[in-house]
């Protein structure tokens, strides 16, 4: 985990913050996400139909399930300055879903801090490049530019 503080955060611009631990994206997680969001599309939750009809040979995670992992994994990598009062998910500048995550695969986050933008009252935005990798796959699940508002 990176030791970012309010005083040294600028030193990390252009730097990789490393890779997170691997996270299992199993069918239970996919089903729970489907239940929570109401997105019950068969390609995510109907194992038999997906095995027969899906071009992926089985169920896949929702793209937004994969995207939802980014913020928590970024925090585990130390993106948030440890002495900040609060860190708020501010949004995304760009997201590309590149490769579907098949049920049972593992993913991890590669994260790089790519910019800082000052805001009012000493607050600032951290922009990071988030790449969600799939284990044993050359192509990532997604690449996103994410924004976090830092409140000192």
Residue 82, judged by CB atoms within 10 A of its CB (0-12, 13-18, 19+), counts as: exposed
What does the pLDDT look like over 129-152, one tens digit per residue?
999 999 999 999 999 999 999 999
- pLDDT (tens digit, 9 = 90+) per residue, 37-92? 999 999 999 999 999 999 999 999 999 999 999 999 999 999 999 999 999 999 99
**Cα distances (angstroms) measured from residue 147 to each of 87, 89, 135, 152:** 10, 6, 25, 16
What is the Cα–Cα distance from 84 to 146, expressed in whole angstroms?
18
pLDDT at site 140: 98
The verdict on pTM exceeding 0.85 is yes
- Give pLDDT, residue 2: 77
Average pLDDT over residues 99-123: 97
């Amino acid at each position: 985990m990176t030791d970012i503080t309010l005083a040294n955060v600028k030193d990390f611009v252009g730097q990789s913050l490393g890779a997170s631990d691997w996270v299992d994206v199993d069918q239970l997680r996919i089903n729970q996400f489907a239940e929570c969001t109401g997105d019950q599309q068969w390609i995510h939750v109907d194992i038999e139909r997906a095995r027969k009809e899906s071009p992926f040979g089985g169920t896949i995670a929702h793209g937004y399930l994969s995207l939802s992992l980014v913020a928590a994994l970024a925090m585990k990598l130390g993106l948030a300055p440890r002495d900040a009062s609060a860190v708020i998910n501010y949004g995304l500048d760009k997201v590309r879903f590149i490769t579907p995550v098949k049920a049972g695969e593992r993913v991890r986050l590669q994260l790089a801090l790519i910019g800082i933008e000052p805001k009012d009252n000493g607050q600032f935005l951290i922009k990071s490049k988030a790449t969600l990798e799939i284990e044993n796959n050359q192509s990532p699940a997604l690449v996103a530019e994410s924004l976090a508002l830092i409140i000192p």
